[in-house]
Amino acid sequence: MKSRIEEVKARALASVAAADGTQALSDVRVRFLGKNGEMTALMKLLGTVSKEERPEMGKLLNAARVEIESALAAAEKAARESELAKRLAEEEVDISLPGKMRLPGAAHPVTMIREEILNVFLGMGFSVAEGPEIETDLFNFQLLNVPKDHPARDMQDTFYLGDNLVLRTHTSPMQAHIMTTCRPPIRVVIPGRVYRPDDDASHSPIFHQIEGLAVDKKITVGDLTGCLQTFAEKLFSEDTKIRLRPSYFPFTEPSVEADATCTMCHGKGCRVCKGTGWVELLGAGIVNPAVLDMCGIDSKEYSGFAFGLGLERIAMIKYGIPNIKLFYENDVRFLGQFR
Ligand code: PHE
């Protein structure tokens, strides 16, 4: 027994000395001190030794165990330290490299311009409403004085979802929703997404509009002009002028197209206004009395004005953006400029 203890101890200590690294040492630990290890096996053998010899053998065994344990512990500590030193040397940090910067998020330019425009109208006493993007033929067309088979339907190509459902082609159906449910005085602006099968540098099949509607007694073109003039001054600059050109919309009579003096050159003529000094701002007009009556508001007692503007178009004018697609590509180099 005694010689076996000496032999196992000698092999264990030699193995510790030969082990290279923490993994090898952990294998040695399992092989000699583990549950099925060689020292554990010797412990079990102790039961077969004679009563007289047993205390001495027990002592020897324990001493051997302690010796192996302390050799292992010392070797493990040294191995851990040298492995750490090696990693520190290898994984050296280059403190001259630039750090990773996290840019804070920002609102999308279309969102920013929407909030800016809504704020201008809130300041003039308008409230804000929103409505559905899927509309019935009744609200998108008929209540806006565009009966079925009317040639004015060709003015706006339409995504049909069925015989009577469309993706709204403008926010104007909200005029009809509001006039069929609210009584004058009405002063409301309606932001929202609209859809048309158009696709080029200044048209996108999905874009954003803000509709405006005011209905009251004795509303005139003068009220419309004053409102749009104030809007242009607040949104662009104090020296901005507007002008109205005759136009046609089935739901307004008379109808106008409003231009503003170019924000880039202040009317002198530049790339943004194509040399004219003016940029097209929005469509507007006096609410067609036929629309008031269809919506249940007496056109003999009340009148109103309405306008509809394209958010992307206004942002393109305000910031001199050449292509509407830039708004939807979400390239951070573009978006970051509006922060
Ligand atoms: N809905 C029209 C368009 O999308 C704009 C408009 C709104 C014109 C309100 C007059 C009055 O082109």
- pLDDT tens digits, 151-162: 777 666 889 998
CA proximity to 16, closest of 78, 58, 81: 78
- CA–centroid distance, residue 150 to ligand 1 (Å): 17
Residue pLDDT, tens place only, 243-257: 999 999 999 999 999
Ligand 1, atom 6, residue with closest C-alpha = 308
Distance set, CA 27 to CA 40, 79, 166 (Å) = 15, 14, 74
- Count CA within 13 A, CB hemisphere, residue 7: 6
What are the average pLDDT values for consecutive 10-residue runs of the chain, which has 339 residues? 86 89 90 88 84 86 89 89 88 85 87 96 97 96 91 78 92 98 97 93 92 98 97 94 96 97 87 89 97 97 98 90 92 88
Q: How far apart are CA 232 and CA 239, in angstroms?
A: 9
Ligand 1, atom 12, residue with closest C-alpha = 283
Q: How far apart are CA 102 and CA 95, in angstroms?
A: 18
- CA–centroid distance, residue 254 to ligand 1 (Å): 12
Residue pLDDT, tens place only, 50-75: 888 888 888 888 888 988 899 888 88
Residue pLDDT, tens place only, 138-148: 999 999 999 88
Whole-number mean pLDDT of the chain? 92
Best residue among 166, 172, 177 to mutate for probing ligand 1, ranked by most atoms within 8 Å of CB = 172
What is the chain's Cα-based Rg?
Answer: 42
- CA–centroid distance, residue 114 to ligand 1 (Å): 17
**CB-CB contact of 143 with 294 (8 Å):** yes
| The two three-digit tokens of residue 2, written as one number | 């005694």
Q: Which atom of ligand 1 is nearest to the CA of 282?
A: 5
Q: Is the CB of 288 under 6 A from ligand 1?
A: no
253 is in an annotated binding site: yes
pLDDT of the residue at 155:
63
